[in-house]
Chain A
Amino acid sequence: MAKTMLHTVNKSPFDNGTLQTCLKFARQGSTVLLIEDGVYAAARDTTVSKQVQEALKSVSIYALKPDVEARGMQDRVMDGVRLVDYEGFVDLVAQHKAVQSWV
């Protein structure tokens, strides 16, 4: 895998602009991992889902499964967003050059 950056977003896209800022700076081919309240961005049919779908054309987007399930969002994840468990999270960190946590 190319040595790109892994971005993590842990804030709800409806509560503040963290996701929007992350997507603005995430370069083509990099990876975004949605964790904690960030996983709400992975849901279909919301006011931000179009923006996330657009982002999927240039970045890979993952969501942390334990956080998705805790919030009851497991049946609402949009196509193109992949789920990872904690081991998958570790693998993503290992596969990337650096991690930027958009806290």
Chain B
Amino acid sequence: MSEESAGGVAKKFLYVNRKAPYGTIYALESLEVVLIGAAFEQDVSLAFLGDGVYQLVKGQNTKALEVKNFSPTFGALEDYDVTKLYVEEEALQARGLSAADLVVPVQVVSTQRMAEIMEDQDVVLNF
């Protein structure tokens, strides 16, 4: 489960995103915590369930809303060695979306596979 890293033991962290962006602060806060976890060289994965998939939708333009558009940040996660982004297939389908509609490459997984991924973690945090 865990492997040694320079500062100690790296644990497997999964951040579960279940809320749409902007309507609440959850999505933005999750991203902040993900970046902190990555800075500490933990083994980080992100899961997107339900309305969480909306965080990744292309074409977000927050100019008129006057809040920060944080969707480009998902594209920068790779620089922090965060490359495991899992998206629930059922959530995409229910919303008329596909992987092509998202801002970054993701792994679209079944609900059962997502459950297995969750089971495999040391720490799971929901937002």
Q: Could you tell me which A residues sit within 8 Å of B by CB distance? A: 10-12, 14-15, 36-37, 40, 43-47, 49, 65-67, 69-76, 85-86
User: Given A15-B51, A70-B22, A71-B20, A85 and B64 touching (CB < 8 A)?
Assistant: yes
Contact of B21 among A14, A49, A66, A71 (CB under 8 A): A71
Which residues of A have CB within 8 Å of B65? 66-67, 69-70
Given contacts A36-B22, A40-B20, A69-B64, 7 further A-B pairs with CB under 8 A are A10-B23, A14-B51, A37-B22, A43-B96, A45-B96, A70-B61, A86-B64
Main secondary structure of the interface of B (DSSP, over half): loop
Query: Which size bracket describes the interface of B in this complex?
Result: 20 to 34
* Docked complex Cα distance between A86 and B24 (Å): 20
- For the residues of A in contact with B, the DSSP-based class is loop
With contact pairs A12-B51, A43-B96, A47-B94 given, residues A71 and B57 touching in the complex (Cβ less than 8 Å) = yes
Do A40 and B51 touch (CB < 8 A)?
yes
Q: Which residues of B contact A (CB under 8 A)?
A: 19-24, 50-51, 54, 57-65, 67, 69, 71, 94-96
Number of residue pairs across A and B with beta carbons under 8 Å?
Answer: 74
The minimal Cβ–Cβ distance linking A19 to chain B, given in whole angstroms, is 13
Contact B71 A72 (CB under 8 A): yes
Given contacts A14-B51, A65-B64, A69-B63, A36 and B57 within 8 Å (CB-CB):
no
Q: A75 contacts which chain B residues (CB < 8 A)?
A: 59
Closest partner residue, chain A, to B60 (CB atom): A72
Q: A43 to B64, alpha carbons, bound, how many Å?
A: 20
Return the chain B residue nearest A38 by Cβ: B23
Chain A residue with minimal CB distance to B103?
A72
B62's nearest neighbour on chain A, judged by CB, is A70
> Contacts A14-B51, A37-B23, A72-B57 known; A66 to B64 CB distance under 8 Å?
yes
